[in-house]
Amino acid sequence: METNRVERFYFKLAQGRIVAVFGFLYAASQLMMFRILSRLGSDPLMLQITFSKERFLEILGGWGRWGVGLYKSHYWFDFVHPIWYSIFLASFIAWLSAKKGVSPSKGLLLLFCLPFAAGLCDLVENTFHVLMLNSVIRITAFSVAASAAFANTKWLLAGISLAAIIVLGIKKAKARH
């Protein structure tokens, strides 16, 4: 992506109201998915991150038809959820770090892009799961490992984004005092 396009997008998102709106949408979406998935315990997370076909099938078998149906129903929210959290995290990074009239460093622009990469990984992971759960593609060692690779990358990138927000928030708070 061209740096000045990313930079323009960075400054467009560097607004407190965007952080607030997308933070609210993210929280509401997260709450809806929690209400659906909490009845399945910690297994939805385990299903996402396991690289083992056997463990994947064991989790599905433990849920039975009802649990798998419940899990599939959360995708009504989980296909838009990455949009909400990507914009929320990226706008938070931009809002905390933007300085009027000063171009952000390439490193800062990279941090700004990480939430979008996480969201893309989430969409690929979701697509793998929907295809596997609806028998469009077979549940194989490869399909499980591929979806887990995208899921684990998503969590890593989201974690780095959250750490960046904490560090940038501390820096901004210190700069005010």
The identity of residue 75, as a single letter, is: Y
Helix 81-97 and helix 3-13, axial crossing angle in degrees, nearest 10: 90
Instruction: Give residue 176's pLDDT.
Output: 84
Q: Please tell me the predicted confidence (pLDDT) of residue 3.
A: 59
Q: How far apart are alpha carbons 157 and 177 in whole angstroms? A: 31
Per the structure, the count of domains in the chain is 1
Write phi, then psi, for 70 (nearest 5 degrees). Answer: -60, -45
CA distances from 114 to 62, 66, 71 (A): 35, 36, 27
Provide the β-strand partners of residue 102.
99
**What is residue 2's predicted lDDT score, i.e. its pLDDT?**
59
88: exposed, middle or buried (Cβ count in 10 Å: 0-12, 13-18, 19+): buried
Q: Which helix (H) or strand (E) holds 122?
A: helix 106-133
- pLDDT by residue, tens only, the chain of 177 residues: 455 899 999 999 999 999 999 999 999 999 999 999 999 987 999 999 999 999 999 999 999 999 999 999 999 999 999 999 999 999 999 999 999 889 999 999 999 999 999 999 999 999 999 999 998 889 999 999 999 999 999 999 999 999 999 999 999 999 887
Find tokens 């929280």 and name the residue: 27
Q: 99 - beta bridge partners?
A: 102
Quick one: which H or E segment has residue 65? Answer: helix 53-73
